[in-house]
Amino acid sequence: MTQPAQFRLFNPDTMATPAAGYSHVAEVTRGKLVYTAGQVSIDSSGDFVGKDDFRTQIRQVFENLKLAVEAAGGTFNSVIKLNYYCVDTVDPSEMAAVREIRDQYVNTEHPPASTFVVVRRLVRPEWLIEVEAIAIVAGDL
């Protein structure tokens, strides 16, 4: 899958190749920057989804991110950066689910630059993960 002309996601030869499926660099060449708020497992009706179910929460978070980026005129292929905030009560063995579900949305050939942070808790204790995105869509920068 090719990258949109507005940006380039890559790993410089001078840096180690990431093992976790992300790019070190997101270079914006043109377009309009779109920032999403951190998305949690709340559906379009405002209902919490996935009590104590990490995978269900991740899936809802990515659906919310998709809807947010689409509302700004982009697609998930427009996403150049993801920031994850995951609570420390999630079993580390479940972390593979984040990448598995993320890979259903992103261009895995050129995945977004990413930061993953483990936190003590999020604003509401039932939330297990929150993710924010930065995308580049057609338009003026």
The model's pLDDT over 47-84, given as tens digits with 9 standing for 90+, comes to 999 999 999 999 999 999 999 999 999 999 999 999 99
> Is residue 129 predicted with pLDDT exceeding 70?
yes
Is it the case that residue 91 has pLDDT exceeding 70? yes
Fold entry, domain 7-137: 60s Ribosomal Protein L30; Chain: A; (3.30.1330)
The residue ranking higher by pLDDT, 127 or 11, is 127
Domain extent listing, the chain: 7-137
* Prediction pTM value: 0.86
- Helix segments in the chain, DSSP class H: 54-71, 96-102
Q: Is the pLDDT of residue 46 over 80?
A: yes
Question: Residue 97's closest CA among 33, 50, 27, 46?
Answer: 50
Q: Checking DSSP bridges between strand 7-10 and strand 32-35, what pairing results, if any?
A: unpaired
- In this structure, of 4-8, 18-22, 125-129, the range with the lowest mean pLDDT score is 4-8
Residues for the chain: how many in total?
A: 141
Range 9-29 burial, b when 16+ CB lie within 10 A, else e:
beeeeeeeeeeeebbeebeee
CA 1 remoteness from chain centre = 18
pLDDT at 4 over 80: no
Distance CA 66, CA 75 (A): 7
Contact 130, 122 (CB under 8 A): yes
The pLDDT of residue 1 is above 60: no
Question: Residue 138: its pLDDT value, please?
Answer: 83
Q: Using a pLDDT cut of 90, give the percent of the chain over it.
A: 70
